[in-house]
Structure 1
Amino acid sequence: MASILVISAEQPTPAAASSSSPDAAADAFDRHNRPRMRRDVILSALAGRYPGLTKFVVVVASPPPPRSSSSPSSPGDALIGLYRPVHDADMVRFLVDAWARWTAMGPGWDADNCHREWRPGSGTEPPLVPLHSAFRRDGIERPSGNVMGAIGYYCTDLITPIVGTLARELEEDARVICSAVDRAFDLDEEDRRRAHSVVYAVTTHPGHHASYDCFGGYCYLNNAALCARLMQRRIETGRRIVAEDDGEIVANYWDDGEDDRVVDDDEKFVDECRFDDNKDDEEWEPIARRIELYGRPRVAIIDVDYHCGNGTASIFYRDPSVFFVSIHCDPEIDYPWNSGFADQTGAGDGEGTTMHVPLGKGAGWSDRYEASLRDAMSAIAKFRPQALVVSLGLDTYDGDAVAVNRGGFKLSGKDYVEMGRLIGSYMAKKDVPCVFVQEGGYKMDVVGDAAADVVGGYAMAIGEEGG
């Protein structure tokens, strides 16, 4: 079995099940979502399950430098610049500044904008939630200068609050993703097969419901989308994202070395996009031509969260260089309701590079899920990605509270080992960097074991094939 490299902002602790993080109080504002506890439980499970095979890399965001006339940039500028290829700069700025703007309004909170779980006299400042939602389709609304109005422009629900720890946690998550991509690409082919075959970015917050200019569904910034773009950039330029000397994210990373992009010549590029000369692969030739013209390396994302990765799909819907596959509950049954239908396959140049696999309630591993995952991985193999992102949501577990009332899947126990092994079997013997990115999972008594099972199964598949 190959080993596992875990990137996070925290170390595993024996008391993780009770959420030992000093910021754990922020978990109390939702009945189901416990992002800090989920992170701690997963780290603890990995440490306990694979004590000799798991290496933990802790990424801690440094405090922003003091502002001065010679340094006019404000805290958050680095985050805005980093997410530029996948998110609207004004939305990222809102997430960075919103808490300060909200608390600056002082006591006498507008109760309608306070999170429903907050109670007067609780000793905490209330998280901010939308009072209303914008008419986004009319094309004439814009975010208000008042933070209570702006959140209604950017946020899509009432369950994704602005809290005091958010800006720092988003910066930490960004560093986790950057470090994970660097680590995955720094490993040579032999390492990927034998040593650190699994690079697992255990972020605090999930991200796959965040689209270019709105957030929701417990997701603020799209970590998987950033991961895919960073992978493309590493392939294009070979440049690291995090400086080796001080661990800082390279400033203006997207502007550095634009002229150094490496693109295969036409004939080679199209040949690589083609799996073989079988008739079944003729459908991929038009896609290969569009990728060739688009001029970016091929990255695939497989999203196994119970809910559709609608934000990720939206960001790459017209991009033929990113093949996005999501296996999820039918949107006629559960969140996000209005996205994730099987006939939504991309648009424009991206037609054919989005694949939604909606399943009905009660889907189990042996009756529906395994076959669907095989179909998804077969499609990814035909795309021939140069890098892979796995959006690892674990709310497919039988009895997960977020899903059970409307549908829910029936995966459990060793099903997650088989999930990891199946994904790994398609990546074995291929020199393809892979990063697992944490998404949802709300059944805290099992989420750690499920995560360890998936990445462990992947490591077993890579180790067996590479051995």
Structure 2
Amino acid sequence: MKTVFSPLHAGHAGNVELIAGAIVPAFEKPSRAEFIKARVESEKLGPILPPESHDLAAAKKVHASDYIDFLPSVWPFWEESGRTGSAIPFTWPTRGLRGDVRPRTIDALLGFYSFDGGATFVKGTWDAIKSSYDVALTAAALVKGGEPSAFALCRPPGHHAGAAFMGGYCFINNAAVAAQWFCDQGARRVSILDVDYHHGNGTQEIFYRRGDVQVLNLHADPMTEYPFFLGHADERGEGGGEGFNLNYPMPFGTGWDKWNASLEDACARLSAYAPDVVVVSLGVDTFEKDPISQFKLKSADYPRIGRRIARLALPTLFVMEGGYAVEEIGVNAVGVLTGFEDR
């Protein structure tokens, strides 16, 4: 399996996030990607390729143009305002406040285009965002070109980013961009299988009214876990998307048996949908030692996930999302991929 990776991700480093009442160093850090890359190499998964550069037209197919145009302007605007450190949002337009008027200051714009304090910027953030997007599209092109599978080692991740908002470490929704790109290249149907611990709220929002992209999310119950406000089982799509959005919320403490039952049901529904290609939002923060998650999967479980996805017998693009137990993230993420290849 070919992996696409960019060293430019490392510029998104040293930033902070607002979580649990404190401003702390971000859990989403460069070592995550480096551990995965090292494991790809040690397992001899296959060649590691640099991404090709793409314009932002594909991003604007799933995101609002003004939102995408805002992202590269954040750090220059922050510096012009006399700021240092991390650019972090702290004010949000919520119910009862005007959320339809685009403000003018950097602090207001950061809140206008986000839903939490987890998507923060430093000087190298935009280059990392753009390289992650390039990685996803380059890997998608490998699959479109005939590779049975490919791994987009994206950082930062993307599945919390919606049509016009960032959050949860995510800026451009790489999996959504890839799914849309496959549609634009002639795919009649695409399935996105999100196995991250946290619900892919951005992906759901982007495709909620569409029937050509099926979205299946296995995740922690939003009644008790981030991102809290989407991910319930009764959210099944609207209009032309009715029935094509499927959520599998699970309680804290979920282990392999319960989680795997959800995976089996999701895979059965995916097979019935009969897509031309599968995009896997590959999060491994379901791991028992993950510092910000509450599931109990073990390292030995991840190759099982890969083997089950392989049984779908469909062209498959893996797009890296979450996972924060850094010492094990490489073992677990690459375990899915080697399981997929039945090693």
**Is the shorter-chain TM-score for this pair beyond 0.5, marking a shared fold?**
yes
Does 2:305 correspond to 1:419? Answer: yes
Kindly indicate whether residue 314 of structure 2 is the aligned counterpart of residue 460 of structure 1. no
Amino acid of the residue matched to residue 396 of structure 1?
Answer: T
Map of 1:352 onto structure 2: 243
Partner of 1:276: none
| Secondary structure at 1:335 match in 2 | coil
Change in CA separation of 1:133 and 1:24 when aligned onto 2, cut-off 3 Å: closer
Amino acid at match of 1:413: S
1:41 equivalent to 2:35? Answer: yes
Distance in 1 between the 2:175 and 2:305 partners?
19
Contact (CA 8 Å) 1:32, 1:401: kept in 2 or not? no
* Residue matched to 1:244: none
- Please, which of 287, 306, 317 is the counterpart of residue 197 of structure 2? 306
Residue 374 (structure 1) shift = 0.4
TM superposition shift of 1:37 = 1.4
In structure 1, the partner of 2:62 is 86
SS state at 2:326 partner: coil
C-alpha separation in 2, matches of 1:383 and 1:410: 30
C-alpha contact 1:9 1:60 (8 A) present in aligned 2: no
Amino acid at match of 1:46: V
Match of 2:142 in 1: 183
In the alignment, the residues of structure 2 paired with residue 22 and residue 426 of structure 1 have an alpha-carbon distance, to the nearest angstrom, of: 34
Separation in 2, partners of 1:34, 1:132? 22
Q: 2:124 aligns with which of 157, 165, 174?
A: 165
Contact 1:27 1:33 in 2 (8 A): no
Q: 2:112 aligns with which of 153, 158, 163?
A: 153
CA drift at 1:35: 3.5
**Contact 1:394/1:447 (<8 A) preserved:** yes
Structure 1 residues 101, 205: CA separation in 2 closer, same or farther (over 3 Å shift)? same
The count of aligned residue pairs is 337
Q: Which residue is 1:395 aligned to?
A: 285
Per-residue CA deviation, residues 148-189 of structure 1 (Å, 9 max, x unaligned), is 1111111111222121111111211121111111111112xx
Alpha-carbon displacement from aligned partner over 1:2-51 (angstroms, at most 9, x marks no partner): xx11011139xxxxxxxxx86374356644523321111101011112x2
Matching residue of 1:75: none
Which residue, out of 200, 207, 216, partners 2:158?
207
Equivalent pair of 1:206/1:222 in contact (CA under 8 Å): yes
Question: In structure 1, how many angstroms separate the alpha carbons of the residues matched to 2:212 and 2:100?
Answer: 32
2:296 paired with 1:410? yes
Counterpart-to-counterpart distance in 1, 2:37 and 2:161:
24
Match for 2:130: what amino acid? E
Counterpart secondary structure, 2:179: helix
Alignment check: 8 A CA contact 2:118 2:169 kept: yes
Q: Which aligned runs of 4 or more in structure 1 are off by greater than 6 angstroms? A: none
Distance 1:159 1:186, change over 3 A: same
Q: CA deviation at 1:136?
A: 6.1
Instruction: Tell me the SS of whatever aligns to 1:85.
Output: helix
Checking the alignment, whether the CA contact within 8 Å between 2:13 and 2:30 is kept in structure 1 is: no
Quickly say closer, same or farther: Cα 1:214–1:412, change in 2 above 3 A: same
Displacement, 1:59? 2.0
Counting aligned pairs with the same residue, the percent is: 31
- Which residue of 2 is the match for residue 263 of structure 1? none
In the alignment, does 2:123 pair up with 1:126? no
- Counterparts in 2 of 1:219-368, with a 5 A limit? 219-235=170-186, 297-366=188-257, 368=258
Cα RMSD between the aligned structures? 2.0
Q: Are 1:54 and 2:46 matched, yes or no?
A: yes
Distance in 1 of aligned mates of 2:13 and 2:99: 39
CA contact (8 A) 1:27 1:37 kept: no
- Compared with structure 1, are the counterparts of its residues 328 and 217 closer, same or farther at alpha carbon in structure 2 (3 Å cutoff)? same
Letter in 1 for 2:297: L
Letter in 1 for 2:221: D
- Structure-2 change in CA distance of 1:22 and 1:434 (3 Å): closer
Amino acid at match of 1:362: G
- Distance in 2, matches of 1:60 and 1:34, equals 24
- Confirm or deny: 8 A CA contact 1:160 1:217 kept in the other structure: yes
Distance change in 2, residues 1:148/1:183 (3 Å):
same
Unaligned runs of 5+ residues in structure 2 are 18-23
In structure 1, runs of 5+ residues without a counterpart are 12-20, 63-77, 110-124, 193-197, 237-296, 462-467
Q: 1:156 to 1:426 in 2, by over 3 A?
A: same
| Corresponding residue of 2:324 | 442
Shift of 1:218: 0.8
Question: Which shows bigger deviation, 170-179 or 223-232?
Answer: 170-179
